[in-house]
């Protein structure tokens, strides 16, 4: 089993739709979690951190479920400009603190 | 406010050669991490430098080495290049050693091995 797994997609949704991605992780000692966005042939950019209590930033909501070992990203009212690959990052604990990226989930928002 | 800058943007090498990639961190950041991103995959952590020392290392062979300078800039060196080393190499900077800190990425260096 991979340390961090994401459905690669692509998720094809119309403008205005709500879409959610999950990211599962295998190490229960994982300590920190992030979502990054990567446009085609560009560098990853931080979208948001994921806090234990869940957090929201405008149309984006991130949640952490430690019991089931996954994080989620919900995007409401999708825009064409949301089309990108969404990468989850898990910081493994146990003393190593190595950041592990998922392979990313591709989102395509169409008119 | 200068972000993370990397050079060169593209590079073509042949098997067995050696390559050096360069990175200047975002202003105010003192920690640099290097990643390798193959096509269709997420970035893989190579190593992190802080105070001119390697602090953390991912699962990469000794052919991959690095350096950090007093001005916080960093180099990634790869020896004895293999075809499988073809990838986008990303540099990310943060403030402090904690990998819990969000990282800011540069545009990357696209390395092609022929």
The string of DSSP letters for A7-73 reads ---PEEEETT--EEEEEEES-TT--EEEEEEE-TTS-EEEEEEE-TT-EEETTEEEEEETTTTEEEE
- Using pLDDT thresholds of 50, 70 and 90, give the confidence band for residue B96: confident
Inter-chain touch A102–B42, beta carbons under 8 Å: yes
Cβ contacts of B102 on chain A, cutoff 8 Å: 34, 46, 49
Q: Is residue B109 helix, strand or coil? A: strand
Q: Is the pLDDT of residue A71 over 60?
A: yes
Mean pLDDT of the residues in chain B = 94
Inter-chain touch B56–A98, beta carbons under 8 Å: yes
Q: Is the pLDDT of residue B26 over 70?
A: yes
pLDDT tens per residue, range B60-87? 999 999 999 999 999 999 999 999 999 9
Residues 11-30 of A with CB under 8 A from B: none
Q: Which residues of B34-64 are buried (b: 16+ CB within 10 A; e: fewer)?
A: bbbbeeeebbbbbbbbbeeeeebebeeeeeb
**Residue A57 to chain B, least CA–CA distance (Å):** 16
Q: Which residues contact B8 (CB under 8 A, 6 or more apart)?
A: B21, B109
The answer to whether B19 touches B77, Cβ cutoff 8 Å, is yes
Q: Which residues contact B48 (CB under 8 A, 6 or more apart)?
A: B31, B32, B33, B34, B54, B55, B56, B57, B97, B99
Residue of chain B minimizing CA distance to A30: B100
> Nearest Cβ partner of B45 from A32, A49, A98?
A98
Residue of chain B minimizing CA distance to A87: B42
Query: Which of B17-21, B51-55, B92-96 is the least confident region?
Result: B92-96
Inter-chain touch A43–B33, beta carbons under 8 Å: no
Q: Is the pLDDT of residue B12 over 80?
A: yes
The answer to whether A106 touches A9, Cβ cutoff 8 Å, is yes
Q: Is the pLDDT of residue B99 over 70?
A: no
Interface test with A, best of B39, B59, B99 (most A CBs within 10 A): B99
Q: CB of A42 within 8 Å of any CB in chain B?
A: yes
As a 3-state breakdown, chain B gives helix, strand, coil percent values, each rounded to 5, of 5, 50, 45
pLDDT tens per residue, range A1-34? 678 999 999 999 999 999 999 999 998 888 899 9
Beta bridge partners of A50: A33
Cα separation, B21 vs A82, whole angstroms: 31
Predicted pLDDT at B85 = 97
**Across the A/B interface, how many CB contacts are shorter than 8 Å?**
50
> Nearest Cβ partner of B42 from A45, A46, A87?
A87
Cα separation, A33 vs A5, whole angstroms: 13
**Residue B79 to chain A, least CA–CA distance (Å):** 23
């Amino acid at each position: 089993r991979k340390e961090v797994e994401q459905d690669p997609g692509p998720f094809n949704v119309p403008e205005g739709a709500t879409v959610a991605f999950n990211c599962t992780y295998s190490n229960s000692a994982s300590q920190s979690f992030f979502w990054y966005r990567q446009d085609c042939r560009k560098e990853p950019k931080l979208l948001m951190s994921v806090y234990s209590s869940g957090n929201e930033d405008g149309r984006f909501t991130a949640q952490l479920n430690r019991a089931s070992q996954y994080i989620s990203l919900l995007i409401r009212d999708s825009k064409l400009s949301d089309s990108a690959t969404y990468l989850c990052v898990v910081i493994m604990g146990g003393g190593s603190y190595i950041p592990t990226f998922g392979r990313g989930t591709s989102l395509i928002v169409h008119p | 406010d200068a972000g993370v800058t990397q050079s060169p943007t593209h590079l073509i090498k042949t098997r067995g050669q050696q390559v050096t990639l360069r990175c200047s961190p975002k202003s105010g950041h003192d920690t640099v991490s290097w990643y390798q991103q193959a096509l269709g995959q997420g970035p893989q952590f190579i190593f992190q430098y802080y105070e001119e020392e390697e602090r953390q290392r991912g699962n990469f062979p000794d052919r991959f080495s690095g350096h950090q300078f007093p001005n916080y800039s960093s180099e990634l060196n790869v020896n004895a290049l293999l075809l499988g080393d073809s990838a986008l190499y990303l540099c990310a900077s943060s403030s402090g050693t904690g990998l819990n800190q969000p990282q800011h990425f540069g545009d990357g260096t696209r390395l092609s091995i022929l």
